[in-house]
Amino acid sequence: MARTRRQPSARILLAGGVDDLPEITRMLEELPENAYGQVFVEAALEEQVRLLPAPPRVTVTWLLRSARASAVSPLVFADHGEALAHAVTGWAAEWCVAGCEPRTTVWIGCADSPWVERARSAVQIELADAGQQVQVEYGG
């Protein structure tokens, strides 16, 4: 039996790096109060973390590369986009299921990362497989 998840209002996924913060902040400020979803922001250091203007049902998660090991053996810390890509594909595995809320807004930045490019493709496939007509928007 297929998993299903239904929610009463618009669902979002915003994901990017610290260079994408102006665009992420703008999108968060434009969200309705009843929006729900997830924001992932990848940063190299804890000093880059800041409070973002998210509605009450939107969770902001900071992914610190300096606190994560890399899948690439010579790297001590996570590569640029690596933590973000893992978070985005994990989100897709949990939320892109049959019977989901059909109105999902997805915006993924960190466009210069091959890790994120692969994750972006995976999310598009997961959304299509779940029967959702959602265009994944690309950020700078």
The pLDDT of residue 3 is 33
The pLDDT of residue 114 is 74
Look up residue 13 and give its DSSP letter: E
More confident residue, 66 or 41: 41
What CATH architecture does domain 11-28+36-138 belong to?
A: 3-Layer(aba) Sandwich (3.40)
More confident residue, 137 or 127: 127
Give buried/exposed letters for 16-43 (b at 16+ CB in 10 A, else e): bbbebbebbbebbeebeeebbbbbbbbb
Query: Residue 120's pLDDT band (boundaries 50, 70, 90)?
Result: confident
Predicted TM-score (pTM) of this structure: 0.80
CA distances from 48 to 76, 88, 96, 137 (A): 19, 20, 30, 24
| Cβ atoms of 44 and 66 closer than 8 Å | yes
The pLDDT of residue 140 is 55
In the predicted structure, residue 6 carries a pLDDT above the cut 60 = no
The pLDDT of residue 95 is 75
Q: What is the pLDDT of residues 89-103, one digit of tens each?
A: 888 888 777 666 556
Average pLDDT score over residue span 9-34:
90
The pLDDT of residue 137 is 62
Q: Measure the CA–CA gap between 81 and 99, rounded to whole angstroms.
A: 30
Return the amino acid letter for 19. D
Q: How far is CA 89 from the centre of its chain?
A: 8
Poorest-pLDDT segment among 31-40, 46-55, 107-116, 126-135: 126-135
Q: How far is CA 50 from the centre of its chain?
A: 17
